Structure 1
Amino acid sequence: MSFYKLFDFLRDLNANNNKEWMDEHRKRYHEIRDFYIDWLNQMDIIFSKADPDYSPTTGKQAINRINNNLLFHPNKPVYKDHFGAGLDQEKGKGDFYILIGINGSFVAGGFYKPKKEILDNIRAAIDYNGEEFVKILNKKSFKETFGGLMDEEKLKTSPKGYDKDHKYIDVLRNKSFAVMHEFTQKEILDDKFQDDLVQVYKEMLPFRNYLNNAVTV
């Protein structure tokens, strides 16, 4: 089994996105799913060796359902066009998410649209020691890997309790504190994909550690 077959399966599923087709190819789906879970188990071990604070998470714990939630998104297809999983899971920690799909693959981490309490704690940490956080964001290799924060949504004004002239106001206005690194299918199929993924994980560590400390201390 390989990522070649995973991508082939997702392309076929995307072209036949219905329960009848899935039922006919259920065995194939489980073979692909088992491969992905085994791969996640391998990465779980590798990440735990790379990071002393890593929280072990089995592939079965990490993997997401391939079914879309049609109750809340009735216009979406029955099945997703990707396999997604969240490793390094622990209550209070920011996410470390891996998505491999036919319409894009990426690794993301941090807090995406967190609850108010978490967002308030992150902003308080930046208010207290924003210099360290900005230094992480501005590190050359970090910017080359992630580009910067995912800033899909930002406040148009300053957050409540913060002056509009705050030294780090541009960072404080973010509603999410997360970063993302995209992988092409060619990169995923390359023999060094695992090594590249570990390098991205390590590059993200100071960022995630800062945020995790902000919401737990």
Structure 2
Amino acid sequence: MNFNKLYTFLRELQKNNSKEWMDANRNYYYEVRDSYISWLDKMDIRLAEVDPNYTHTTGKQAINRINNNLLYHPNKPIYKDHFGAGLDQETKQNDFYIHLGTSESFIAGGFYKPKSSILKSIRQAIDYNGDEFLEIINKPSFEKLFGNLVDYGDSLKTSPKGYGQEHRYIKLLRKKTFAVQHNLTQKIVTAPDFEDKVIEIYKEMLPFRSYLNQAVSV
């Protein structure tokens, strides 16, 4: 996979973010997209080798549309500034997400602003066994790769219904997003060992995602 070509395409697209330019460069887009899909297929196989519970997700299933949804976001440009893809799509929410773009590149996983029923299940799991969750996210190697949980500034100011202000896990229970992210540079993505880096991140993130998947499946 020529990731330099992927980044070059995205930069050119953002300079000419119009249907006319895309129509004139449709083959260019297909070449980059199809190459990325093939790479995702390869990663799908490699990830299944390191995780016996991995949910196979083809590149075509994983990759997101490059068009922005203008129905709900009419002020956005026609096309996104990135290629996004979610592998290991067991829940469609807690997938292993790879984001390669002109403004930022990263790998993330977890639940981003999940619906209330899922959020309720995660809080119940933390209430029941928050020590296990803390052990996962406080592990030195985990903190090195991801730092803290992603903070979108959407945490509750008070305690959620059914939990007191003095609850030992109140800071976690107030969260409305349970996700982690590892930022990437173009240099990292285009390096020969990028695939191995993806595997490293996946394996470190796995206990975190498994905990959340277990929480919402019971």
* Structure 1 and Structure 2 fold alike (TM over 0.5): yes
Q: Could you tell me which residue of structure 2 aligns to residue 207 of structure 1? A: 208
Q: Could you tell me which residue of structure 2 aligns to residue 88 of structure 1? A: 88
- 106 and 92 in structure 1: CA distance in 2 versus 1, 3 angstrom threshold: closer
Q: Could you tell me which residue of structure 2 aligns to residue 161 of structure 1? A: 162
Aligned-pair identity (%): 62
Q: Could you tell me which residue of structure 2 aligns to residue 70 of structure 1? A: 70
> Cα deviation per residue 1:7-31 (whole Å; 9 max; x = unaligned)?
1111110100000000000001000
Say whether 1:97 aligns with 2:117. Answer: no
TM norm structure 2? 0.97
Q: Supply the distance in 1 between the matched residues of 2:178 and 2:200 (Cα, whole angstroms).
A: 20
Q: Supply the distance in 2 between the matched residues of 1:197 and 1:24 (Cα, whole angstroms).
A: 34
Q: Could you tell me which residue of structure 2 aligns to residue 188 of structure 1? A: 189
DSSP-derived class of the 1:129 partner? helix
Q: In structure 2, what residue type is equivalent to 1:129?
A: N
DSSP-derived class of the 1:64 partner? coil
Instruction: Out of 137-146 and 92-101, give the one that drifted further.
Output: 92-101
Instruction: Out of 154-163 and 94-103, give the one that drifted further.
Output: 94-103
Unaligned runs of 5+ in 2: none
Instruction: Out of 93-102 and 155-164, give the one that drifted further.
Output: 93-102
Q: Supply the distance in 2 between the matched residues of 1:103 and 1:93 (Cα, whole angstroms).
A: 23
Give 1:93 deviation, angstroms.
Answer: 6.2
DSSP-derived class of the 1:178 partner? strand
Give 1:51 deviation, angstroms.
Answer: 0.5
Unaligned runs of 5+ in 1: none
Conservation of the 8 A alpha-carbon contact between 1:92 and 1:216: no
Q: Supply the distance in 1 between the matched residues of 2:134 and 2:119 (Cα, whole angstroms).
A: 17
Conservation of the 8 A alpha-carbon contact between 2:93 and 2:112: no
Q: Supply the distance in 2 between the matched residues of 1:65 and 1:11 (Cα, whole angstroms).
A: 17
- 102 and 74 in structure 1: CA distance in 2 versus 1, 3 angstrom threshold: same
Q: What's the C-alpha RMSD, in Å, of the aligned pairs?
A: 1.0
DSSP-derived class of the 1:151 partner? coil
Conservation of the 8 A alpha-carbon contact between 1:55 and 1:90: yes
Q: Could you tell me which residue of structure 1 aligns to residue 172 of structure 2? A: 171
Conservation of the 8 A alpha-carbon contact between 1:111 and 1:176: yes
Q: Supply the distance in 2 between the matched residues of 1:138 and 1:91 (Cα, whole angstroms).
A: 25
Q: In structure 2, what residue type is equivalent to 1:156?
A: K
Runs of 4+ residues deviating >3 angstroms: none
